[in-house]
Amino acid sequence: MLEMLFDTSYGLAHHPFLLLILWLLALVLTGKLDAYGIGDLFFQVSLFQRIWVGLALGFLVQTVLVAGFLLGSKPAIPMDTAWWISVLSGLGLTLALAAFFVREKLKYLFDEGRTAKENRLSLAMFLGFLLSWGLSGLCCWRFPGGVMAQLNVWFVMGAAIALFAIHAGMALIGEERLTPAVPLCVLLMGAVAVYLAFALQAPFGASLLVLAIWLASSFAGWNRYKYGLVEMQHRKRECLRTVVDEKCRCDPFALPPEEESDAAPRYRDGVPMEHDRTKPFVILCTSGGGIKAAAWTVTALRAIHRRVPDFHRHVRIITGASGGMVGAGFYVEALARAQAQQRAIDFSALYDRVTRDMLSKVVHRMIFRDLVLYPFPFAHPNNRGQALEETWPELQTLSFGQLLTLERNGIVPSLVYSPMMVEDGRRLLIANLDLWSCSVNRAPMIGTGSEPKALLSVSGFEYGRLFSPEELDRLRVSTAARLSATFPYVTPAVSLPTVPRRRVVDAGYYDNFGVSLAVDWVRTHRNWLRANARCVVIVQLRCSMDEMQRQARFDRDSAPGSALAAGWEWLTSPIEGILSAREAGMSFRNDEMLEGLSCLLSGMAFERTPEGGAQGSMPFFSTVLLECNVSAPLSWRLTRRQRIQLRQFFHRQGAGNDATNLQQRLEQLALRLRASEPADRLDHLWRREGAMAENPSRTSAVQQNSIPFQGRC
């Protein structure tokens, strides 16, 4: 018995791939991958699904252990030994997993605050795990005489194939009813089986495996436009150099620097934007962050609408990235439908649509279709990215051609999607607005022959200019939202029909908050805004940590760590630096851009006469930041508890907690946007801001309860 355990340990130790799978499984069971939503796929499911998950986990662990035994021992063992190995090792593993489950730090079994139903669901998965080991032990005990150790492998793989076939058949009926955890486990079992088949052919097994992967990848890469847009499958590929030469060098909006800010904003068909100068001009910036960002966008908009019912009449532009723009698309679609039916938006139904499961269908499409078709070079439009779009049926029925008339009439705001192109780092601007002036950077440059206004760079291409206005008319909002929310590996990068090829990925690579584009638009049209708007407000909706959390993280991460971690800093420092720059760099740069815009517009103010005859002035430009600190995974799936927490976020804020209490900011925003207010409330607001201007030392004490509107100018 000890010899068999030693052989298994020996095989695992000499094959890190098997240890890696066990390590990943341990991370899932201990909740270390919950930030990415992986743990929820295994545990936040129904009773029936947990039994399936337990079976799949049990078979996966058996496959890894038996593979380790076969790679570290002789191929044949007696029947009774095989049975005892199966039973005793299964008992040991179940006891070990049970010890993991009942630990105080884990939340999957008997954790404080969990309901009895959730505990029963955890026990159901545990029962499925025991059942898988019992079936394997029964199989080895049932056959008389000596039996090969491969018998257990064949049984486990047969059970895995049965699980896979059942789930594949059910996926054709209704993918949304299934959890992707089972096919993920089966996929790992298949990987172990393939690895075992090649490893047993040593010393040439590893070389054959590498050769097979290289051949499959090379064959799949013959078609460089494999993952394209469904709307443009049969379109002639556009020469990108021609677009650059014709539409960058010969810019029709090449106005002198002193006249550029006077240019009226236009839609792509040349119609100038109109705005009631007695109303504020609001730009909404919503951050990326998967389904959490989409849910937070709807939750924050609902809270704003409760205080300013006509808020949708003030918002003219919405920018952002990833999940936030998905929520914005749902908001615009609901707004258009509500306006057509002459009723108010049903935010409760809108929230339910935004927070439904969007991940299961994507994972099933990836496993049952994308992986199977990966080696084949033909076009593959019906991929997991298309599956993500299919979870947004409301956005699939809405095109940019339909939105154009609604935007020009001021019924809905203009959506601006800005995914990034991999090859050159430029943005692909998808909108009905003419954004050419926001994507061209000019400045006086010595020695170029065009010192008054030299072209420095082109930071983005407009979709309508890159292809044609007709193509933009046909483009669905769901497709633009998917391009802007192309998470790494979850959905594939889309190849545009251009020569050379351009791949499009998540907008969060360039700006995860949408502030950069909003600031560029206001700066470019600042004089027009001064003549046609009462004030300008940029509303930022972020689902990331707030300033107090950033400060707490700074203090925690600055504390001295272990000596072992310090010894490996030569290896980890570059990676940590990249991740920190990715997370915090955009936020700091956006704040700097907002300060620069505040300095540019610092001389502008608007007068306002409220009821009662009191007068006062407010800054022409201001911004407000609404951040969400609810813990949720960066994924396309929310648990029931997370949905409730996000829905009730504004109701659970503590009145005395200035760091997380957003009620005051919402009230200040409502005062800024309303056309008329009682004199006493406005007088209080003006006195507050006047005191801040006269006594800067008081600014820090009240800045979290008011709208930040000025920089250090």
The mean per-residue pLDDT over the stretch 294-312 comes to 92
515 pLDDT exceeds 80?
Answer: yes
Say what the pLDDT of residue 102 is. Answer: 46
The model's confidence at residue 164, banded by pLDDT at 50, 70 and 90, is low
State the DSSP code for 492: P
DSSP annotation of 245 reads: I
In this predicted structure, which of 206-215, 311-320, 337-346 has the lowest mean pLDDT? 206-215
Return mean pLDDT, the chain.
73
Q: CA-CA-CA-CA torsion for 117, 119, 124, 129, nearest 10 degrees?
A: 170
Q: How far is 16 from 63, CA to CA, in rounded Å?
A: 15
Residue with the bigger pLDDT between 537 and 641: it is 537
- Quickly list DSSP for 392-444: -HHHHT-BHHHHHHHHHTTSSPEE-B--EETTT--EEEBSSB--HHHHEEEE-
Strand partners, 607: 617
> No. of H helices and E strands in the chain?
34, 18
What pLDDT is attached to residue 278? 84
Does pLDDT of 534 surpass 80?
A: yes
DSSP readout, 46-72? -HHHHHHHHHHHHHHHHHHHHHHHHHH
Q: Give the tokens for residue 620.
A: 């022409």
Distance, CA of 518 to CA of 623 (rounded, Å): 11
Q: DSSP 3-state assignment of 460?
A: strand
Nearest to 513 by CA among 587, 580, 578: 587
Residue 162 has pLDDT above 50, yes or no: yes
Closest by CA position to 705, among listed 671, 672, 662, 674? 662
pLDDT reported for residue 581 = 74
DSSP H or E run through 192:
helix 181-199
**Which has the higher per-residue pLDDT, 565 or 418?**
418
Q: What separation in angstroms does the CA of 612 have from each of 75, 115, 156, 604, 683?
A: 94, 56, 81, 25, 11
Query: Above pLDDT 70, what percent of the chain?
Result: 64
Cα separation, 178 vs 175, whole angstroms: 6
pLDDT tens digit sequence for 104-151: 344 444 343 344 444 445 555 555 666 655 555 544 444 443 344 445
Distance (Å, whole) CA 663 – CA 340: 32
Residue bearing the bigger pLDDT, 87 or 426: 426
In 3D, which of 522, 508, 659 has the Cα closest to residue 585?
A: 508
Q: Give the pLDDT confidence score for residue 683 in this predicted structure.
A: 40
CB 593: neighbour CB atoms within 10 A? Answer: 18
- 288-292, 464-468, 585-589, 693-697: least confident range: 693-697
Specify the pLDDT at position 658.
44
Q: Which of 262-276, 400-414, 490-504 has the lowest mean pLDDT?
A: 262-276
Name the more confident of 456 and 330.
330
Band (pLDDT 50/70/90 cuts) for residue 201 is: low
What is the rounded CA–CA span in Å between residue 268 and residue 404? 9
Compute and round to an integer the Cα radius of gyration of the chain.
29
Closest to 442 in 3D by CA, of 246, 241, 261: 261
Residue 441 has pLDDT above 70, yes or no: yes
pLDDT for 3? 62
Tokens 């047969």, residue located:
158
Reading the block at residue 627, the tokens are 């951040």
Mean pLDDT for 234-263 is 51
Provide the H-helix boundaries in 629-662.
640-647
Position 31 pLDDT exceeds 90: no
**CA-to-CA distance for 406 and 23, rounded, in angstroms?**
53
Whether pTM > 0.95 for this model: the answer is no
pLDDT bucket at 646, cuts 50 / 70 / 90: confident
CB contact at 8 A, 590 and 512? no
Domains and CATH numbers, the chain: 2-220 (no CATH), 236-358+376-540 (3.40.1090)
Task: Report the pLDDT value the prediction gives residue 349, as an integer from 0 to 100.
Answer: 93
In a 13 Å sphere around the CA of 95, the CA atoms on its Cβ side amount to 6
Element (H, E) at 498: strand 498-499
Length reported for the chain: 713
pLDDT score recorded for residue 347? 93
Torsion region of 454: left, alpha or beta (phi above 0 gives left; psi -120 to 50 gives alpha): beta
Each residue of 312-341: b (16+ CB within 10 Å) or e?
bbbbbbbbbbbbbbbbbbbbbbbbbebbee
